[in-house]
Copies of this chain bind each other. A is one copy, B any other.
Amino acid sequence: MIISNDLILIGKKAKEAARKLAFTSTGAKNSALSAMAQALVDNQEEILSANSLDLQAAEEKGLRKSLINRLRLSPEAIMEMSNAIHEITKLPDPVGGGEFWTRPNGLRIQKTRVPLGVVAMIYEARPNVTVDAAVLCLKSGNACILRGGSEAIESNKALARIISDAVENSGLPQGSIQLIHKTEREYAAQLMRMNKYIDVIIPRGGEGLIKTVIENSTVPVIETGTGVCHAFVDKDADIAKAVSIVFNAKTQKPGVCNALETLLVHQDVAQNYLEIMGDKFKNGGVEIRGCDRVQDILDYAVPASEEDWGTEYLDLIISSKVVTDMEEALDHIYKYSTKHSEIIITENYSSAQRFLNEVDAAAVLVNASTRFTDGGRFGFGAEIGISTQKLHARGPMALPELTTIKYVIYGDGHIVE
C-alpha cells in the first residue's frame, strides 16, 4: 500500500516527538497538561463555534439524535474536560519506575517502564476523545496521532490545534499531538500500515470500526469494545440483590460496552425471580427477548432468536434464558460471551468460586453490576478504553497500559563464556 506524503510527514514528526517525550520529566509533562487545561477554557468560543459547524452539518445530513448528542459540546462540557486534565496531572507518572535484580555474575538488570512511543487512536464522532486520548498519551510520554470521524472534524480541528499549541508553548516537542485532518477512509487504511512510525493503534467506537482495524492493521492493535455481558442468577441468589443488580446493569447507561445484554436464570428460582424482575423491566421500558421458558413465565416477553444471544443491543432490550443448572449457564457464556464482563448473583460460596474460576473474561463479578468494569470505578483515575483482547492489556486500560518495558543493564566488562 502506498502511504501518502502528508501521513509520512505526520509519522516522522510523531516519531521525533516521541523520542524526546520518552525522557521528558514528569514536571514538564504536568506543566504542559495544565497549560492544555487552561487553553481549553481560554478558547471556549472557538471550540463552540467549530462545534456548531459540525452540529449544523449533522442536522443537514439528518444524523440520528443520539449521534448528534455525542457530538455536542457546551461550556460545561469544556469545563469538565479541563477539570479532568487537572486530575490527570495528579496521577503518578507511569514512566521511570520498575523493579531490578542482580545476577550471580554481578550484572544488574533494571526492568524499567518506558512509553510505548507513538500511539494512534482511530475513533468516531465523540470530540472529547480527541482531548482524552491526547492527555493520557502525553502524561505517559507518548506522541499521539488522532484520527476522528468526519462528523466531528471541525470540533476536532479546533480542539487539537488548541491543545497542541499549548503543549508546544510549554516547550514540549512539536508533533506530540497531531490530528489527521483528512477523514476519507483511505487515510485510516494507510495509517494501519505505518508500522515504521506507529507502535500501537487503539480503535474506539462501534463493532464495525474495530473489526475493520483488526482485519487491516499490520501495526499492533489493542482491541476495545464489544460487550455481550451476561448475568447468571443462581438458585442460591438473594432475589432482592439480583433484581437490583440486573436492573442497574441493564438500564443505568444502556449505550455502553459494560451494560448487561443477557440474563440467565436458574430454573429453581426462575418463576419467582422473573415475575419480580419482569415487572421492573416492564415499568422501566425494557423489552425482554426470552427463550420458551421465559415466555411461559412472562407473557409480554417476545421470542429470542439465535441471533439475539450474540447481540450487543446497547439499548433498553435484554435477552433472557432459563437454564437447568450452572453448567448450562457456563456453556452459554462460553459460547456467546465477548469476554468483557460477566456476573453471577449468588449467596453460595462454592458456586461463586466456580463461576469466578471458570468464566474467561476481562472482568468476572459476584453480586455487583457489570457497570463497575471501568477505569474510574476500579480506581485507576483515568481510562483510554476497555480492552477485550488478551495481549498487553485486558479490561480497563489506564496510564500503565500506555507504557512498555526497557531492560537497562549495568555491567563492568561482562562477556558471555
Residues of chain A touching chain B, judged by Cβ–Cβ distance below 8 Å, are 19, 22-23, 101, 103, 107, 109, 114, 116-117, 195, 199-200, 214-215, 218, 220-223, 238, 240-241, 244-245, 248-249, 252, 334, 356-358, 360-369, 371-373, 377-379, 389-392, 394-395, 404-416
Residue of B nearest to A200 (CB): B391
CB-CB under 8 A from A114, the residues of chain B are: 360
A6 to B371, CA, bound (A): 40
Contact assessment for A116 and B407 in the assembled complex, using a CB-CB cutoff below 8 Å? no
Contact assessment for B199 and A19 in the assembled complex, using a CB-CB cutoff below 8 Å? no
CB-CB under 8 A from A389, the residues of chain B are: 199, 220
CB-CB under 8 A from A410, the residues of chain B are: 365-368
CB-CB under 8 A from A223, the residues of chain B are: 220
Residue of B nearest to A240 (CB): B413
Contact assessment for B369 and A415 in the assembled complex, using a CB-CB cutoff below 8 Å? yes
Contact assessment for A413 and B241 in the assembled complex, using a CB-CB cutoff below 8 Å? yes
Contact assessment for B195 and A364 in the assembled complex, using a CB-CB cutoff below 8 Å? no
Residue of B nearest to A193 (CB): B215
Contact assessment for A244 and B415 in the assembled complex, using a CB-CB cutoff below 8 Å? yes
A218 to B192, CA, bound (A): 12
> Assuming A241-B413, A252-B416, what are 13 further A-B pairs, CB within 8 angstroms?
A22-B357, A103-B378, A114-B360, A220-B221, A363-B407, A364-B406, A365-B411, A367-B414, A368-B409, A368-B413, A372-B411, A377-B416, A394-B405
Known contacts: A23-B357, A101-B379, A371-B416. The answer to whether A117 contacts B390 by CB under 8 A is yes
CB-CB under 8 A from A116, the residues of chain B are: 390-391
A356 to B411, CA, bound (A): 12
CB-CB under 8 A from A415, the residues of chain B are: 244-245, 248-249, 252, 368-369, 371
13 contacts between A and B (CB under 8 A): A22-B357, A116-B391, A199-B389, A220-B221, A220-B389, A244-B415, A252-B416, A363-B408, A364-B406, A366-B411, A371-B416, A372-B416, A373-B407
Known contacts: A114-B360, A214-B195. The answer to whether A369 contacts B406 by CB under 8 A is no
A214 to B193, CA, bound (A): 11
Instruction: Quote the shortest CB–CB distance from A8 to chain B (angstroms).
Output: 15
Contact assessment for A377 and B103 in the assembled complex, using a CB-CB cutoff below 8 Å? yes
Residue of B nearest to A216 (CB): B218
Q: Considering residues A116, A223, A252, A372, which has the most beta carbons from chain B within 10 angstroms of its beta carbon?
A: A372
Known contacts: A101-B379, A103-B377. The answer to whether A391 contacts B360 by CB under 8 A is no
Instruction: Quote the shortest CB–CB distance from A412 to chain B (angstroms).
Output: 6
Residue of B nearest to A22 (CB): B360
Known contacts: A364-B409, A406-B361, A406-B362. The answer to whether A107 contacts B390 by CB under 8 A is no
CB-CB under 8 A from A412, the residues of chain B are: 241, 367-368
CB-CB under 8 A from A371, the residues of chain B are: 415-416
Contact assessment for B413 and A404 in the assembled complex, using a CB-CB cutoff below 8 Å? no
CB-CB under 8 A from A409, the residues of chain B are: 363-366, 368, 372
CB-CB under 8 A from A244, the residues of chain B are: 413, 415
A361 to B364, CA, bound (A): 36
Contact assessment for B416 and A404 in the assembled complex, using a CB-CB cutoff below 8 Å? no
Among B23, B372, B406, B414, the residue within 8 A (CB) of A414 is B372
